[in-house]
């Protein structure tokens, strides 16, 4: 007998929650902000918007489904099941945070604050969750498979991300390595490497692309290609600056041979969940076989996979 679907509602603590955790009371938090010319009212309004959205989402979950709430900081300890439907309530980045822990479970992104969030990965209003999940249950929802990127070390460590991977020194020191792709290689001393997907090409990757006025064609969110950029490469007798960006084709890879005592690799800005790399290790970056299954909209007919 198969398990009933389980709605896993993922969210993160509000800024107001963080202020209360730090200062103890509303009054102390208000005083702290006022001393710096800030008004706590705006933070409270965003807190209320998130709480209201969470209530609407809870009311919209099918009554016969099981349900559980998970905070973002708990994701690395939470076990997702194949019957789960993930409902991410928050900023677009929350979907990226949860994507690395999934194995094909559909994700419904809910935007609690349209004035603040672009809604690229959280396109649904809280009030529409009931209709979206109903459509998903009867196979009438449109699913968009988003490409993910993964890093694999020569000793078997693995790490996945939806937006991008960062490889660099854990502090502000220079990262030293040899980069290899497309039959070329170059030794670098730089601020690190960004490598990611078309979804990530709307975020951190795009900032590197725009800052250097690159003519590299950025991949689309569903494209299998990846793109990569070296940050602030330093020219010296031993290090170059001519091979600092590129496209990784579907079946291709980017290889980083580490020449520093310690580098780290983390995905989607979550530094707490990282791989540590040491001198002599090789890191291979490629398209992941896993995809994010984003519930794009409710439609007619069967779900697209």
pLDDT in tens, 205-254: 999 999 999 999 999 989 999 999 999 999 999 999 999 999 999 999 99
Binned at pLDDT 50, 70 and 90, residue 305 comes out as very low
* Of the options 2.40.50.100, 2.40.160.40, 1.10.10.60, 2.60.200.30, the CATH number for the domain spanning 148-288: 2.60.200.30
CB 86 within 8 A of CB 98: yes
pLDDT value, residue 260: 95
pTM of the model: 0.86
Helices 15-23 and 40-60 cross at an angle (nearest 10°) of 120
CB 165 within 8 A of CB 196: yes
Binned at pLDDT 50, 70 and 90, residue 275 comes out as very high
- CB 33: neighbour CB atoms within 10 A? 17
Domain boundaries, the chain: 6-140, 148-288
pLDDT value, residue 297: 66
pLDDT value, residue 270: 85
Contacts of 141 (CB under 8 A, 6+ apart): 106, 132, 135, 295, 296, 297, 298, 299, 303
Average pLDDT, the chain: 92
Distance from C-alpha of 267 to C-alpha of 195, rounded to nearest angstrom: 10
pLDDT value, residue 183: 93
- CB 99: neighbour CB atoms within 10 A? 28
Q: Is the pLDDT of residue 29 over 80?
A: yes
Instruction: Provide mean pLDDT across the span 273-290.
Output: 95
CB 148 within 8 A of CB 288: yes
Contacts of 106 (CB under 8 A, 6+ apart): 85, 86, 136, 141, 143, 293, 294, 295
Helices 40-60 and 129-137 cross at an angle (nearest 10°) of 30
* 225-234, 250-259, 264-273, range with the lowest pLDDT: 264-273
CB 89 within 8 A of CB 9: yes
**Yes or no: domain 6-140 corresponds to CATH 3.30.70:** no
Q: Is the pLDDT of residue 304 over 80?
A: no
Q: Is the pLDDT of residue 288 over 70?
A: yes
Q: Is the pLDDT of residue 300 over 50?
A: no
**Which tens digits make up the pLDDT trace of 157-182?**
999 999 999 999 998 899 999 999 99
């Amino acid at each position: 007998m198969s398990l009933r679907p389980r709605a896993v509602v993922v969210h993160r603590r509000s800024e107001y929650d963080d202020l209360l955790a730090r200062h103890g009371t509303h009054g102390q938090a208000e005083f702290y902000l006022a001393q710096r010319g800030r008004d706590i009212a705006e933070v409270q309004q965003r807190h209320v918007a998130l709480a209201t959205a969470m209530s609407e989402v809870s009311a919209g979950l099918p009554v016969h489904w099981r349900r559980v709430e998970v905070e973002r900081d708990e994701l690395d300890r939470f076990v997702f099941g194949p019957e789960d439907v993930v409902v991410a309530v928050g900023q677009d980045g929350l979907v990226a945070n949860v994507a690395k822990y999934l194995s094909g479970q559909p994700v419904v992104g809910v935007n609690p604050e349209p004035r603040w969030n672009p809604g690229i990965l959280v396109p649904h209003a809280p009030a529409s969750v009931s209709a979206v999940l109903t459509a998903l249950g009867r196979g009438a929802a449109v699913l968009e498979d988003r490409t993910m990127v993964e890093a694999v070390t020569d000793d078997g460590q693995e790490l996945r991300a939806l937006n991008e991977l960062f490889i660099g020194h854990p502090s502000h020191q220079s990262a030293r390595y040899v980069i290899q792709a497309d039959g070329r290689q170059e030794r670098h001393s730089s601020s690190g490497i960004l490598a990611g997907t078309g979804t990530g090409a709307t975020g951190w990757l795009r900032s590197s692309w725009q800052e250097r006025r690159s003519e590299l064609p950025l991949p689309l969110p569903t494209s299998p290609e990846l793109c990569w950029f070296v940050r602030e490469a330093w020219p010296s007798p031993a290090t170059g600056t001519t091979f600092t960006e590129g496209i990784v084709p579907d079946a291709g890879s980017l290889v980083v041979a580490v020449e520093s005592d310690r580098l780290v690799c983390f995905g989607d800005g979550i530094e707490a969940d990282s791989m540590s790399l040491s001198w002599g290790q090789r890191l291979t970056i490629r398209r992941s076989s896993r995809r994010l299954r984003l519930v794009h909209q409710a439609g007619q007919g069967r779900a697209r996979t």
